Structure 1
Amino acid sequence: MRTPRRTLAAAVVAAVVLPLSACGSSGDSGGSTDASGKVEGDITFQTWNLRANFKPYFDGLVADFEKKYPGTHVRWIDQPAEGYADKISADAAGGTLPDVVNVSPDLVAPLAKAGLALDLDKAAAKYRPEYLDGAWASHRIPGMTGTYAFPWYLNTGPLFYNKSLFREAGLNPDQPPRTYAELFDDALQMARQSKGRVATLANVPTVEDFGRYGAELMNRQGTAFAFNDAKGVELLTKYKELYDAKALDPQALTATPESTGKKFLTGAVAMNPGSALDLDNFKKQAPNLYKNIGITDQITSTGHVNMYVMGVMVNSRTKHTAAAVAFAHYVTDAQNQMSFAKKVAIFPSTAGSLDDPYFAKEDGTDETRVRIAAAKSLKSAVNYTPVLFSDQMKTALRNEVAKALQGKESPKAALDNAVSACDRLLQQQG
């Protein structure tokens, strides 16, 4: 099952391949890693498609920081979502990368390899305890030591399920599946009872599914992928069984979030990831579904759901390391993350913040129901998407998964081919 990326700017995340030779080699920072000096100087802060909706928030954030540190001046620049990865690549190559940059893990990886991302384990270790373990770890790069961005806002999505369809299939509507083993059993029963009319799932497995199932995604050195291990093959074999039994929607190979949403709306699919916005849609367009809606965590056999994370990176070549680190921390500290989270449906990455009544106390509204469910699961969530896993790699995996489900290749052969293709692409990243 795929949880669609619903973070503010991350909907269009693309892999960025920097011309590393133009940026310097790994470990060649060219600047100071000492953030203990006086917080002063002019710095630039770049965000990712946030000005249109959140200008007052960021204007206030900058003003408050400058008031706290009178010797500083922060110039805030915002880049559009389209072409953001290319813009970062061009700035990195041209030596014009801002001092503090809004990044996702896949964008920070090539910058870290090029020596352009400050290692916060060295420069800002004192702040480490302020953040959730999984969030801090999300900006570590396989094969490298260090952490290369402060974690900022998080997101995840609960699963919706149709209690009525569960009931009709003889399943307990108040005990939805929580592990993949339970999911597979329930899905096959749903398909049998409905004579193939109702599928439980509408998406093929993605790399996040392999992670949540317990497959090893990459080797520890970050030099090769490994999701063709026994666990990975087992997962894809199970999906093939679901596909043959129509427990996986026949159109899953070409599914989009929109198409799966429509199938869930019409009762052709029993489970689907979503958000509070979907609940409002159910209420308006499918009142019967809304009356029977169930909310549960993502399926996982590891005990940890998948999360999406945004980060704030410090340019290792900034001339004002102390100011840049102080500002990156300020943007992502508990108080400012809570303030931002109350303006939009995201979650703070700071330790303890998810225990705030805003994320824990029911008030009877649909939006709060979903927010509480997501916040609870995020406390121990993991970013399963490897930071080095590009969009091209996602396509390669999807193509091989499709061949396995259609019976053109065995699950083992399909994953072997996918891993080989991803390894080739990895080598091209440098």
Structure 2
Amino acid sequence: MRPLRRAAATAAALVTSALVLTACGSPGAGGPDSAAGKVEGRVTFQTWNLKANFKKYFEGVISDFEEKYPGTKVTWVDQPAEGYPEKLSADAAGGTLPDVVNVSPDLAYPLARAGLALDLEKAAGKYRKEYLDGAWESHRMPGMTGVYAFPWYLNTGPMFYNKELFSKAGLDPRRPPTSYDQLFRDALTMARKSDRKIAMLAGTPSIEDFGRYGVRLMNARGTEFTFNEPAGVELLEHYKKLYAAGALDSQALTAQAESAGRKFQQQSVAMNPGSAHDLENFKKEAPGLYRHIGITDAVNNTGKANMYVQGLMVNAQSKVKPAAVAFAHFVTDRKNQMAFAKEVTIFPSTKGSLDDPYFTKEDGTDATRVRVAAAKSLKTAVNYTPVLLSDQMKTVLRNAVAKAVQGKQSPEAALDGAVAECNRLLKTA
């Protein structure tokens, strides 16, 4: 199963979007956004690296759909994770895009721009109330009206913290930071009380952190990045102070997720994002840390955690549009999403599902500790990362943050330069 974090797929999808647009025409080329008509015909359904581990589950869902709609037949195609964006672009250019396609928001964007993604707000708006607000909105594309995929499975990262390190610094381990102001205060306190031996964090802010801080990342039309606004500059000013005080790990400027995790495991960093898998590793590899693990939401000023989301897009040029919409909805309905969530550590995007005891009751195991914490935060979570932010743009931002944190450039100048370069890249994409 491919990870929910979007990583390299973003850049590949945006690079190939030019081919998609050239091959398929302008937005709306797929005809009217209508799914009216009899649910019948052969539906092609494409997923992304799911068949190896979940064949039985999907075959069951398909069988149930075909039984509910006797005039339908579903052909399931599963593509490997490697090269998936390029495969989508090639299918789009060749007119062989499946009827129902597994996409993340960044992969849906060029297809929606090309008129190949059905606007489900028009074609299937009656189902909108079934999904969490943030999940439904995650496939709304900048500069366009409408929503271009049914939200499917979700994830989010809880934050782990070391209760013992909090106590030694005179901080209340029962009250980890929930706002950035509290995080900055506590981080400076921890660095001071530990004589700079313990840092609160091991990484610099990413675009998600700017979003959680309350920074407006793009303008309303989705035509320009705006993360250099005063709130963005303010965030970097704080990180610059943390770095100077030893509250940000000395290797934070070059840290990867794996190295940050090791720092936390070695108990030289007090807070770090993670997953149920990490918690199991702590129990085996770092029992001293495991005894003092606390679990909380990632810090934010917005009241909303970050959401990683997958969706099911319907091909606007499908010849069996009513059946394709019906099937995409069927796969993402409450019953089938709930069943899938019990097969793997993901979360349903349907309203009410996260209130199920499976997501609210702990049984003393690591898996339920993390599952309950994550499910609680997902109810109001949003996808902060703009669909237009490519990996190249992420590198631009990361370099600007490093210069500002080290004092090589003012936070304002660093972000102004990053926004200018990202907007230049946006225009040439």
Give your verdict on TM over 0.5.
yes
The corresponding residue for 1:101 is 101
Deviation at 1:215, TM superposition (A): 0.5
Aligned pairs for 1:238-249 (under 5 A) are: 238-249=238-249
2:9 is the alignment partner of 1:13: yes
Counterpart residue type for residue 70 of structure 2: P
Deviation at 1:405, TM superposition (A): 1.3
The corresponding residue for 2:237 is 237
Residues 210 and 6 of structure 1, relative CA distance in 2, 3 Å threshold: farther
SS of the aligned residue for 1:316 comes to coil
Aligned pairs for 1:4-153 (under 5 A) are: 7=3, 10=6, 12-15=8-11, 16-17=13-14, 18=17, 19=19, 20-30=21-31, 32-153=32-153
The corresponding residue for 2:203 is 203
SS of the aligned residue for 2:10 comes to coil
Deviation at 1:345, TM superposition (A): 0.3
The corresponding residue for 2:368 is 368
Kindly report structure 1 stretches of 4+ aligned residues shifted beyond 6 Å.
none
Whether contact under 8 Å (1:9, 1:50) holds in the other structure is no
SS of the aligned residue for 2:345 comes to coil
The corresponding residue for 2:419 is 419
Counterpart Cα distance in 1 of 2:51 and 2:409: 47
Unpaired runs of 5+ in structure 1?
Answer: none
Whether contact under 8 Å (2:2, 2:50) holds in the other structure is no
Whether contact under 8 Å (1:177, 1:299) holds in the other structure is yes
Residues 424 and 149 of structure 1, relative CA distance in 2, 3 Å threshold: same
Whether contact under 8 Å (1:9, 1:49) holds in the other structure is no
Counterpart residue type for residue 92 of structure 2: A
Counterpart Cα distance in 2 of 1:7 and 1:334: 22
Deviation at 1:27, TM superposition (A): 2.1
Whether contact under 8 Å (2:236, 2:401) holds in the other structure is yes
Counterpart Cα distance in 2 of 1:149 and 1:190: 45
Whether contact under 8 Å (1:207, 1:385) holds in the other structure is yes
Counterpart Cα distance in 2 of 1:232 and 1:144: 26
Whether contact under 8 Å (1:33, 1:321) holds in the other structure is no
Deviation at 1:11, TM superposition (A): 5.7
Counterpart Cα distance in 2 of 1:185 and 1:215: 20
The corresponding residue for 1:394 is 394
Deviation at 1:422, TM superposition (A): 1.1
Aligned pairs for 1:182-221 (under 5 A) are: 182-221=182-221
SS of the aligned residue for 1:14 comes to helix
Counterpart residue type for residue 85 of structure 1: P
Deviation at 1:14, TM superposition (A): 2.8
Counterpart residue type for residue 22 of structure 1: A
Deviation at 1:205, TM superposition (A): 0.3
TM-superposition CA deviations, 1:40-91 (whole Å, max 9, x none): 0112111001011111111111111111111111111011111111111111
Counterpart Cα distance in 2 of 1:105 and 1:360: 28
The corresponding residue for 1:224 is 224
SS of the aligned residue for 2:253 comes to helix
Counterpart Cα distance in 2 of 1:413 and 1:86: 36
Counterpart Cα distance in 2 of 1:233 and 1:407: 13
SS of the aligned residue for 2:43 comes to strand
Supply the RMSD in Å over aligned alpha carbons.
1.3
Deviation at 1:96, TM superposition (A): 1.1
Deviation at 1:408, TM superposition (A): 1.6
2:153 is the alignment partner of 1:157: no
SS of the aligned residue for 1:374 comes to helix
Give TM-score, length-normalised by structure 2.
0.97
Whether contact under 8 Å (1:7, 1:346) holds in the other structure is no
Counterpart residue type for residue 133 of structure 2: D
Counterpart Cα distance in 1 of 2:316 and 2:408: 48
Counterpart Cα distance in 2 of 1:129 and 1:39: 22
Counterpart Cα distance in 2 of 1:92 and 1:27: 14
TM-superposition CA deviations, 1:207-245 (whole Å, max 9, x none): 110000000000001100001001000001101111111
Number of matched pairs? 424
Deviation at 1:9, TM superposition (A): 7.8
The corresponding residue for 2:295 is 295
Counterpart residue type for residue 133 of structure 1: D
2:353 is the alignment partner of 1:353: yes
Counterpart Cα distance in 2 of 1:425 and 1:151: 29
Deviation at 1:286, TM superposition (A): 1.2
Q: Which moved more, 1:54-63 or 1:133-142?
A: 54-63
Whether contact under 8 Å (2:10, 2:389) holds in the other structure is no
Counterpart Cα distance in 1 of 2:339 and 2:399: 42
Deviation at 1:7, TM superposition (A): 3.7
Deviation at 1:131, TM superposition (A): 0.1
Counterpart Cα distance in 2 of 1:88 and 1:319: 18
| % same residue | 69
